[in-house]
Amino acid sequence: RAKADPVRHVCFYEVGMDEKIRARRLLAADLRRALEYNELSLHYQVQTVIATGEITGYEALLRWEHPQLGPIGPTEFIPIAEENGLILPIGEWVLRTACAEATTWEQPYKVAVNLSAVQFVHADLPRIVTEVLVQTGLSPERLELELTESAIFVDRERALHMLRQIKGLGVSVALDDFGTGYSSLDTLRAFPFDKIKIDRSFFSSTAANPQTTAIIQAVLALGKTFGIPVLAEGIETYDQLSMLSAEGCEEAQGFLLGRPAALADIVSTGQIVLTNPYSREPGAGSREKLPHQSH
Ligand code: C2E
Ligand code: MG
Ligand code: MG
Ligand code: MG
């Protein structure tokens, strides 16, 4: 069909590209203002020990409520923020907000924060993490930074140096989305990760699948070899959870265990109890639902 009408085909293609670039530019401009207009917030998703159901931590997931377009997902706007450097102030805001919010939790659960490769290669990262820990008073062992292998890919030597500096602060580091991208066995050998997160794409089919089981077994064997516990992401069904349990996977995260939600909603369902709900900023939570208050 393209051959029959090459001109129209080419025009259509170019207009499409143009629109995309235009949309990205507009979004980048809006994103620039999103921080100062309080349009960004964090959702939290629970991470649990499979054998006991015990909560170990919560992953902070960035949300953007665009004033006209409504909610925009991080997979859409984070690449834009990475392109224009905005990921640095945004990432610092995420880190500071997640650490500050975690200090209000009564239980010392970990808080897991995603780091962009752009943040990870930035020389300032150890200083920023130190500063945030001091300012918020969160103890370093409660902070876990999540990295993907794209952060290591650019310059392994430098990445290893950065990882050691970060770990030297007492913070733990998880390897996110394992099994996608540039995953290599050498990364696990050479880099002192505290956790491997198996990418949720391996669980995309909800039916029992011998291939998925084989992949899980392989990753768990790697984890054992290198002494790194494994967390499975994107767990949506009991079948998946019982398979993981049978295979000896340590931790799980996914809609089955808890959907990402605003802290206020997690508090109102009793998953998290705050040490002092009144210390939180006004408007941040649905206070009328806190357990100690009469309805
Ligand atoms: P991720 O770090 O691998 O986060 C897990 C993603 O899987 C989240 O998507 C979460 O909502 C989704 N998820 C969790 N459980 C399930 C499940 O059972 N089923 C399905 N279908 N999905 C599940 P989300 O929140 O859209 O975030 C997507 C990605 O955006 C994250 O992947 C992470 O790479 C990035 N991201 C999110 N927040 C931040 C941030 O603050 N900074 C940076 N640099 N990246 C972030
Ligand atoms: Mg993550
Ligand atoms: Mg992941
Ligand atoms: Mg991901």
Give residue 63 CA to ligand 2 midpoint distance, Å: 13
Atom 3 of ligand 1: nearest residue by CA position:
177
Q: What is the pLDDT of residues 3-48, one digit of tens each?
A: 444 444 444 455 577 787 888 888 999 999 999 999 999 999 999 9
Share of the chain above pLDDT 90, in %: 75
Under the banding of pLDDT at 50, 70 and 90, the label for residue 282 is very low
pLDDT of residue 292: 40
Residue 290: Cβ within 10 Å count: 16
- Are the C-beta atoms of residues 191 and 153 closer than 8 Å to each other? no
Q: What is the per-residue pLDDT for 227? A: 96
pLDDT, position 26: 87
DSSP state of 105: B
CA 174 – ligand 2 centroid, Å: 9
Reference 155, options 122, 127, 129, 126; nearest CA is: 122
Is residue 182 lining ligand 1, measured as CB closer than 6 Å? no
pLDDT digits (tens, 9 = 90+) for 228-267: 999 999 999 999 999 999 999 999 999 999 999 999 999 9
Q: 8 C-alpha vs ligand 1 centroid, how far in Å?
A: 39
Q: What is the pLDDT of residues 183-235, one digit of tens each?
A: 778 889 999 999 999 999 988 765 667 888 999 999 999 999 999 999 999 99
22 or 81, higher pLDDT: 81
CB 240 less than 6 A from any atom of ligand 1 = no
- Nearest-CA residue for atom 41 of ligand 1: 62
Mean pLDDT of all residues in 139-157: 93
Which tokens in the block code for residue 86?
């905005």
The whole model's pTM is what?
A: 0.89
Rounded average pLDDT over 271-290: 58
| Type of residue numbered 139 | S
Distances in Å between the Cα of 95 and the Cα atoms of 15, 43, 164 are 39, 13, 19
Is-contact 206 171, C-beta < 8 A?
no
The pLDDT of residue 52 is above 60: yes
* Residue-level pLDDT at 146: 98
* Helix 125-136 / helix 156-168 crossing angle, nearest 10 deg: 20
The arithmetic mean of pLDDT across residues 143-148, rounded, is 97
Give 278's pLDDT tier (boundaries 50, 70, 90).
low
Q: Provide the mean pLDDT of the chain.
A: 88
∠ CA 266-270-275 to the nearest 5 degrees? 90
Query: Looking at residue 15, what is its pLDDT?
Result: 58
Ion ligand 2 contact residues with beta carbon within 5 A: 114, 146, 176
Query: Can you give the pLDDT at residue 277?
Result: 53
As a whole number of Å, the end-to-end CA separation of the chain is: 66
Distance from Cα 102 to the centre of ligand 4, integer Å: 22
